[in-house]
Structure 1
Amino acid sequence: MTLTAPEAPPARRAPYTVIGLDPSLTATGIASSTGWCEVIGYKKPRAKDPGITGLPHPQRREALHELHQAITDTIGRPDLVVIELPAVSRSGGGAHERGWLWWQLYNHLAALEIPVGLLSPNQRALYATGKGNAGKGAVIDAVARRFPTWNTEGDDNAADAVTLMAAGRDWLGHPITSMPQTHRAAITKAIWPDTLTGDPS
């Protein structure tokens, strides 16, 4: 009698890598489902120097490109990036530059064919706290409690990025932690790509 070895089970791929991205000129929050978060922004060479929006146009263009490069280098090539939509009500200083940065990041991801999910600021707050009008402190506290693996160090930009990343994992069917339905209502209101469905976990 000939014995044959049983077939090996199919290889199981790790869950999709998801990045949460909260674009900002001074403090872009970036969080990865692999367990890290970071905040990147334009740093003044000296305390009395103007911010990025106060630079002469040639230097401002260079600084914006350097910021864009630093962000995209940190993002890498994940399976999904969840970005916070611009707050259109914010029309103060830097709106022009923030809009450029947001669209450049979006175009970069599109060029690499990386699927993108989009949450509004209210949807992001809703997923984190259950209230769409929650303040920064409430989001920071909720993220620290529900997602302790990601050390945001009390930074609201990092906390926002973690929330966006967690919402993406939840949408893929592999939530980081069980979330109340009141919070998950944000997922049904968000904009998701049609090129990525189901988590291969």
Structure 2
Amino acid sequence: MTDQTPASVEALSVVAFDLSLTASGVCYRDGSTSTIKTRERDGDRRLLVIEEAAQIAVGGEHLGLGPAPALAVLEDIPKNSYAAKPIAMVHAIVRTVLMKAGVPYALVTPATLKSYATGKGSGDKVPMALAAYKRAGREFEDDNQCDAFWLWCAGRDWLGQRPFDTDMPKAQREALKKVDWPEVAR
């Protein structure tokens, strides 16, 4: 796991997950990121590793870890993809953790996330990393952390908490309207 931390944490906290069975990106409440890496040889036991890491990221009074975040943001399960089945298993585990902690969550499609981050809904991971560097001076160990960071930014932006010193362009913020955002206790 790696860790990068920006300046501050606001009252309405957000956690974000770019989920995968082999390497899930996590962005914590303070904006720091890490990757939950699992080994294929461990089979379905990898789900337990992901569950434990998600519990730590989410926290919550029910675990004696303080208040849970106000919102979690997850990259949605890809449609028509070979990876959809294993990612769906990971989603089930993480969503269960979120529900037990009482944390509402939003699902953001990859195209919507790319539109928010770069202004274009298609392409590879390089524009996402470049946008994070230009906008926030952030670099990541892998694209999983980068995607989790952008999901975190989208959640904060939706809650009215600017994720950067400058505002996102209006056209890019418009992408957030495509997300079915849950009610969040303020």
SS of residue matched to 2:86: helix
SS of residue matched to 1:165: helix
Q: Counterparts of 1:96 and 1:75 in 2: how far apart (Å)?
A: 24
Regions of 4+ moved over 6 Å: none
* Structure 1 residue aligned with 2:131: 142
**Structure 1 length normalisation: TM-score?**
0.76
Q: Counterparts of 1:117 and 1:41 in 2: how far apart (Å)?
A: 23
The alpha carbon displacement at 1:179 in A equals 0.2
Q: Which has the higher contact order (CA 8 A, sep 6+)?
A: 1
* Structure 2 residue aligned with 1:41: 37
Q: Contact (CA 8 Å) 1:126, 1:134: kept in 2 or not?
A: no
Report the count of equivalent residues.
168
Q: Counterparts of 1:63 and 1:21 in 2: how far apart (Å)?
A: 16
Structure number with bigger Rg: 1
What RMSD, in angstroms, separates the aligned Cα atoms of the two structures? 1.9
Structure 2 unpaired stretches of 5+: 1-8, 60-67
Q: Deviations over 1:162-200 (max 9, x none)?
A: 100000111001121210011111110011112345xxx
The alpha carbon displacement at 1:31 in A equals 0.9
Q: Are 2:150 and 1:163 equivalent residues in the alignment? A: yes
After the TM superposition, which of the residue ranges 182-191 and 72-81 deviates more from structure 2? 72-81
Q: Deviations over 1:139-161 (max 9, x none)?
A: 1111121122x5423x2111100
The alpha carbon displacement at 1:33 in A equals 4.2
2:13 aligns with one of 14, 17, 28: 17
* Structure 2 residue aligned with 1:86: 77
1:66 aligns with one of 49, 70, 80: 49
